Amino acid sequence: MARKKEFDKEEVLTKAMQTFLRLGYEGTSMQTLVSTMGINRGSLYDTFGDKHSLFLAVIAHYEETVVKDTVGSLMTPDADKQTIVELFRGLVEAMAKEQNCYGCLMTNTAVELSSHDAEAKDRINNHVCQMVRSFKHALTNARAKGEINSDRNLDAMAQYLTSNLQGLRVMGKVNRDPQILNNIVDVILLVLD
């Protein structure tokens, strides 16, 4: 008879997510995962499969827990220019408060794995496309409210904002000085004028 799993799947995925954020995919061993997740090796393999399958589950968990908040604010019916401003300013505020800034799992994964891991690359590409769609939604609302000129290319603006959001996360790994990060955001947000 199979033994009942005695752990909360979401909780152990969060622990694995934090480990991959801190150490990266290549830098995380199965033994480190077993230790940080607080489950035995057999349970890890039975529940998630191998390290790569666990990592893909962690990406999905990250999207459901961390990314959903970001995308959610941009996808509300009344999302507009102010929503975009608040997103960037809120990110700076959050990064300044983080004790250890490991960046964004999606950005970290794109840099580390996309050149040689097709599945990870596809997941990250889907994430980027969702971010672009979310920014475009807010930009479309902003245009309808007269906050953005009607001649602006909203697709290009959404791509620009997505790229800069990811770049800001990278900068925050290196320097979390709010003044420096807000200076960067000031320039990013000029695209909205």
Phi-psi region for residue 99, left (φ > 0), alpha (ψ -120 to 50) or beta? alpha
**Could you say which DSSP state residue 190 is in?**
G
Domain that holds residue 112: 62-192
Provide the CATH number for the domain around residue 66.
1.10.357.10
Residue 27 is assigned to a structural domain of this protein: no
pLDDT tens across the length of the chain (193 residues): 445 557 889 999 999 999 999 999 999 999 999 999 999 899 899 999 999 999 999 999 999 998 887 788 999 999 999 999 999 999 999 888 887 778 889 999 999 999 999 999 999 999 999 999 999 999 999 999 999 999 999 999 999 999 999 999 999 888 889 999 999 999 999 999 9
Residue 152 is assigned to a structural domain of this protein: yes
pLDDT of residue 1: 43
Burial code (b: 16+ CB inside 10 Å, e: under 16) for 88-107 equals: beebbeebeeeeebbbbbbb
Residue 39 is assigned to a structural domain of this protein: no
CA-wise closest residue to 91 among 14, 19, 13, 168: 168
pLDDT of residue 7: 82
E-strand stretches of the chain: none
Give how many domains the chain has, as a whole number.
1
Residue 153 is assigned to a structural domain of this protein: yes
**How many degrees, rounded to 5, is the angle at CA 62 between CA 176 and CA 105?**
45
